[in-house]
Amino acid sequence: MSSFPLTPRNQVHRLPKRASYDRDQIYGILDQTFLCHAGFQVEGQVYVIPTIYGRREDTIYMHGSAASRMLKELAKGFDACVTVTLLDGMVLARSAFHHSVNYRSVVLFGQARALTDPGEKSAALEIITEQVAPGRWAEVRGPNEKELKATSVLAMPIDSASAKVRTGGPIDDEEDYTLPVWAGVVPVRMAAGTPADDGRVLPGVGLPASLSRARFL
């Protein structure tokens, strides 16, 4: 199926012309980054926590400490919501009212489950690692049995999703175009800086190949 079905849950109501339900576009946005925000509720209090993720086909994977309250709650199988946003630019208009930002955002819905099989957990951790720095998994020591037990890993099939995208410059009121005010777009992007080793890298060990493929580098 090329698009997610339009439902009351994933339908974009505000500025629907910016919405997309196309699976390829949604997954394309997800694959551009590795940081998401997951929403969950504990005793009537709603929390939204940032975490990293990895995607493989129609599933996203998240991980953390086995003691993580967020992961414990999400693993209970209730309807979860996960969001991802890429900021592309500051849109500066002639009026304060029409200032905006250019962005690509995705809202995902699904029910998460905890992975308990060590092999399944390890495979999911590889997916997450590769989302951050493609090729890194092959360069490092994999998790041992103790580390796997200390780690909680969730798989959330993407049951429903929508994207919302804004591009282009400011849209001012016609009468404001005569104002002597600069207007336009300031591009914004997330970029990796210069790598700095931790001071204990063995002599002769250079920068790994994965750094040349790291996100935003």
**3-12 pLDDT, tens digit each:** 999 999 999 9
> Hey, how many other C-beta atoms are within 10 angstroms of the C-beta on 74?
25
Considering the chain, what is the average pLDDT of its residues?
A: 94
Displacement of CA 95 from its chain's centroid (Å):
32
The answer to whether residue 136 sits within a structural domain is yes
Alpha-carbon distances of 34 from 11, 52, 83, 86, rounded to whole Å: 24, 5, 11, 10
The answer to whether residue 176 sits within a structural domain is no
CATH of the domain at 57: 2.30.110.10
- The rounded percent of the chain whose pLDDT value lies above 70 is 97
Helix or strand (DSSP H, E) at 125: helix 118-132
pTM of the entire structure?
0.92
| Distance (Å, whole) CA 20 – CA 67 | 36
Q: How many CA atoms lie within 13 A of 89 on its CB side?
A: 16
Structural domain that includes position 43: 16-168+204-213
**138-154 pLDDT, tens digit each:** 999 999 999 999 999 99
DSSP string, 67-88: T-HHHHHHTT---EEEEEEEEE
**16-44 pLDDT, tens digit each:** 999 999 999 999 999 999 999 999 988 88
| Distance (Å, whole) CA 163 – CA 31 | 13
The answer to whether residue 3 sits within a structural domain is no
- Give how many domains the chain has, as a whole number: 1
Helix or strand (DSSP H, E) at 163: strand 160-166
- The whole-number pLDDT of residue 211 equals 85
- Segment 83-105 mean pLDDT: 98
**171-205 pLDDT, tens digit each:** 999 999 999 999 999 999 988 888 999 999 999 99
